[in-house]
Structure 1
Amino acid sequence: MKDLVRVGLLGCGGFGSVELWEHRDSKETYAMKCVSKGFIVKMGMQDSIINEKNILLMTNSFFIIKLLECFNGSQTLYFLMEPALGGELYATYNRKGLHGMLGQSEKHTKFYIAGHRTFARNLLLSEGGQLKLTDMGLAKFVVGKTYTTCGTPDYFSPELIASSGHTIAVDWWTLGILLFELMAGHPPFESPTPMETYSKVMRPG
């Protein structure tokens, strides 16, 4: 870590912050996820943090943010990661008004759908506009069915809501939701509350 220099803040949330760091000699830039140990213990997230680290170390995909190194500070855990300097997919869509543009929306949607593999709220963009998946705190490897309920309510499939057990088929459901939202600017079952969203999803026909 002594070889790195902090450049500035990229973003922050309840868990801590993500900062831009630079290597002193090579001038390569990195994203440093800084997580408060006190927050981890307070929220009972010890297993989640370890799980996130292990999953990121096991994955090797162009579409997933790479974990390069971990550092253990006195009050903070540090994850040195590949930077995604293009920002969040949704922020870019909103800023550039890509939703619903004749011809343009379809072109961009096809490009980003090709890289989609999970709930859409964890999608970042590289400097060149390529899709990068981040935030593996609730991820897990599954063989067969799983009964975990997590994610964005707008993207929940019927079997997820019913807690009947779900498979990789939920990826196809969330793909359809993302496609609709990128084209229309809002998810298909959008409602004021999650319970109303679930009701619409489970409605027959």
Structure 2
Amino acid sequence: MRQMNRKILSKIFLSTIYLSTFTFGGGYVIVTLLKKKFVDELHWIDQQEMLDLVAIAQSSPGAIAVNGAIVVGYKLAGLPGVFCAVLGAVIPPFVILTVISFCYNAFKNNHMIQAMLNGMTAGVGAVILSVVYDMGSDVVKQKDPLLLLLMAASFVAAYFYHVNVIYIILAAALAGICRTIIRKLRNEA
């Protein structure tokens, strides 16, 4: 059992350090990569669990990449999994930002660096679009009218009316709580 636990912990650490090293563009990019690694490749988590874990990570304060690593690490191996996942998620940005901060003056006016960053911006947009498609198609596949309504209303509120994301998350959470309470009351009756 101990050997298996070490194997899982090392796999969590190595996976999150790898993903964090090559994830550019913010936390939502790592969500797709976490899904590909832990759902599609390793089959440690199923699709619905991943959506639930992402929802928890999004609704918690802090960086989504670290929050995502925390919830995945905890799901897979408890507190030792959290520790390994957080270390793996935090070390690469810490090292990269430390190095970049020492070289900032050389980078800020370098046209090659600027061109590289512009290219990365386009790639990050595509990855974020992929996350939206993956998560949205999973909601659509459930054919749940409330979830579809929440998804559409959230999009309209954020995109057209510029409603703060915090209010959208709180409203969706409230809708989920109300739905759960109503279902529980119906089952008891």
Q: Name the TM-score class by shorter chain.
A: under 0.3
Bigger strand fraction: 1
Higher RCO by CA contacts (8 Å cutoff, separation 6 or greater): 2
User: TM-score scaled by structure 2?
Assistant: 0.28
User: TM-score scaled by structure 1?
Assistant: 0.26
